[in-house]
Each structure stands twice: as C-alpha cells, then as structure tokens.
Amino acid sequence: MNTRLFIIALVPGIVLAFSAYLTDRYDREPLGLLIKVFIFGALSVIPTGIVENILSSFNIFNGLLGAAYTAFIVAGITEEFFKREVVLRFAFRSREFNEKLDGIIYAAYSALGFATIENVMYVVFRYTANPYVGIYRGVLSVPAHLLFAVTMGYYLSLAKFSSSREEYEYYLKKSLRVPAILHGIFDFILMSEVSFLLALFIPFVAYLWIVNLRKLNRYYKESKELYTIRNKKF
C-alpha cells in the first residue's frame, strides 16, 4: 500500500471533522460519542456497498437514464440512508443531542467517517496510478459529503425538537429525501458527461456551500444564544 496516498486519502475527512468540532464551540459534544459516530459512519461503507451492488444489478438503463439511476438510487438514497441510520442509532436519542446544532455535528461525523473510508478505497486502491484523484476528491467529493450532512442534520434537528408527531415524521423524511436528492444531482452531473450539465457543476457546488453555510450559521447563532442564556442564569 502506498503510504503517501493513504495519508492523502485520510487528511480531508479528519481536517473537516476537526473543523466541525471547533464549530460546536458553545456546547461541544462528547469526543467519545463523536468518535463512535465517525467510526460507525466509516463501517456503514460495508452495508452500503452490499446494497449498492444489488441495486446496480437492476440497472437496465442506458445513457442518461442509467446515470440517473446510479446517481439517485444506487448512490444518493443508499449512502444517505446508511449515514443517517448511524446518527439515528447512536446519537439521535442521546441526552447530549440537546440543541439544533448537534444534529449537524453528528450527521457531519457520520458522513465524514463514510467519506474517509470511501476516499481510501478510491485513492489508495482503485485509482492508485492517478495521483490527481486524491486532490479532486479532497477538494470536491469529501466536502460534498459534509454539505449533504449539513442538510441532513438540519432536518434531523427539526424532527428532534418538533412539537407534534406529524411534524416529526415530516422532517424525519426530509432528513433523508433532501440530502439524497442533492447527492444524486451532484453525482448525476459528473456521470452524465454532458457538456451543458457539466457547466452547471461549479454553480451547483457554490449553491451547496451557500445554502448549507446558511443552515449551519442559523443553528450556530441559536447555540450561541442558548449559551448566553445559560450563563446569565448563573
């Protein structure tokens, strides 16, 4: 195994996970729970790969339809489902999940665990001869998983702190549906190999950053406000 490529594959996910940890500055989540979510996010690559292989065997389409099936069904829904499942199983009902920003942090750690192992598979084993794959994935693919996670965590928090069963179910569904659609669009643009679609890739990535930074900033401000209120009480 190429040690240099292995390090290149690991660094983006770890750096982004550390950045997420620093973002949660007012009521940080337990490091042990974050590591647990990260590890199980990484392990979710296994069931994801199994399901993706099964779903791929049913892809009878050609051209753009085949690309759409792979992007939205095989990759988008499957990967976001298992990343969300990690959060639901290990963090969603935890007493540490006590403010809306937490949903984004836990979703980010699950997604970055997944993205880190996926990155190792691509950079170290699948495209060993192409050193540019590590750069491309470090700049685009791994951060994209984080952005999908921000959307997922945003809606998971709305579900967690909802005031009714109907509202809970509505946002819980959106916590899978919306990131899966964004994931599917991201992959479809790249898989389509159609010039006018590829021209939309950079604007779409910019859109993902703008929209998700707004979501993150909204919950960050709420976390700061809650921190201020708690301190005033003392």
pLDDT at 1: 61
- What whole-number distance in Å separates Cα of residue 95 and Cα of residue 37? 15
- Contacts of residue 51, Cβ cutoff 8 Å, sequence gap at least 6: 78, 82
Q: What does pLDDT average to over the chain?
A: 94
Residue 26: DSSP 8-state: S
CB 110 within 8 A of CB 84: yes
Convert the pLDDT of each residue in 125-134 to its tens digit. Answer: 877 767 778 8
pLDDT at 2: 76
- What whole-number distance in Å separates Cα of residue 25 and Cα of residue 40? 24
Convert the pLDDT of each residue in 55-111 to its tens digit. Answer: 999 999 999 999 999 999 999 999 999 999 999 999 999 999 999 999 999 999 999
Q: Which residue has the tokens 């940890």?
A: 21
- What whole-number distance in Å separates Cα of residue 37 and Cα of residue 219? 20
- Does pLDDT of 42 surpass 70? yes
101 C-beta neighbours (distance < 10 Å), count: 27
> How far is Cα of residue 98 from the mean position of the Cα atoms in its chain?
21
- Does pLDDT of 19 surpass 80? yes
- Does pLDDT of 112 surpass 70? yes
End-to-end CA distance of the chain: 55
pLDDT at 233: 59
- Does pLDDT of 135 surpass 90? no
pLDDT class for 179, splitting at 50, 70, 90?
very high
pLDDT at 24: 92
122 Rama class: left (phi>0) / alpha (psi -120 to 50) / beta? alpha
Tell me the whole-structure pTM to 2 decimals.
Answer: 0.95
83 Rama class: left (phi>0) / alpha (psi -120 to 50) / beta? alpha
